[in-house]
Chain A
Amino acid sequence: MPRKATTPRRPPRRTTSGVSAPALDPAEELCARDVTDGLPVVPPTRESVQRALDGVGPVDELIARVQPADEENPMTEYLDPTDSVAVPRKTAPRPPSLDGKVVTLLDISKAKGDHLLDRLEELLRARTGAKAIVRRRKPTFARPAPDALRREIVGATDVVIEALAD
């Protein structure tokens, strides 16, 4: 995500007595410095991770190795902090075509996702026999769609196209 290079750094916070405040929680500190894009940034410090792990018991299952965006950094490993194994899920059965189907285009509210969805709607109308095309939008890309919206969509559609994560 592009960073605003011109954002001025705020002066360090001071307590009302004029003495420098003790080190802030890192998440608060990053927010105070305006270096986030408004979403919470929680650095996985040794202490914070340990605190989380203490709450869930022993962890020994490696669930993923993720290459960071900076290719020069070493591979990061993620451990499953839960004591249960995710139940394998199956995808829904597919229809042979979209003929006669209701297609919901779910906009996740990221900038320019609507351009992509506008074009997909045109293509669906031109190239498929879809019965109806419904446009929905979730309030923020940062969270799953609200339950009410999810239920509404499930009750009124045959397939969903969700876009666009950038």
Chain B
Amino acid sequence: MHDGVFFEDQGIPTATVISAEFRRAATAQADALGAGAYRTVVVAHPIQPLTREEVRALADAAFDEILARLTR
């Protein structure tokens, strides 16, 4: 979250992909950094037990939202 906020401050649109488990932590961190408007892209948790193909499927599912975060 700190990296994303840093890049946004530097004028670089950033999409930060997190898993659902970290949604609350990310929101709290963003609020603390004054970046309440900053939105992450959330994928299903957990990641570690997934196969490579399953992780790739998460990327497919999240891709449109990632594009939407980076463009207007």
Contact = CB atoms under 8 A, between A and B. Distances in A.
Contacts of A66: 24-25, 28
A3 interface: no
Interface stretch (A25-33, A40-48, A51-59, A81-89): A81-89
A164 B55 CA distance: 11
A166 B21 contact: yes
B7 to A, nearest CB: 5
Interface in A86-138: 86-98, 103, 106, 108, 110-113, 115-120, 123, 127-128, 138
B19 A86 contact: no
Contacts of B13: 91-95, 158-160
A161 to B, nearest CB: 5
Contacts of A80: 32
Contacts of A67: 24
A63 interface: yes
Contacts of B55: 112, 115-116, 119
Nearest to A95: B71
B48 A98 contact: no
A88 B31 CA distance: 9
Contact of B16 (A96, A154, A157, A162): A162
Interface of A: 2, 63-64, 66-67, 69, 78, 80, 85-98, 103, 106, 108, 110-113, 115-120, 123, 127-128, 138, 144-145, 150, 153-154, 157-166
Interface of B: 2-19, 21-22, 24-28, 31-38, 43, 45-48, 50, 52, 55-56, 58-60, 63, 66-67, 70-72
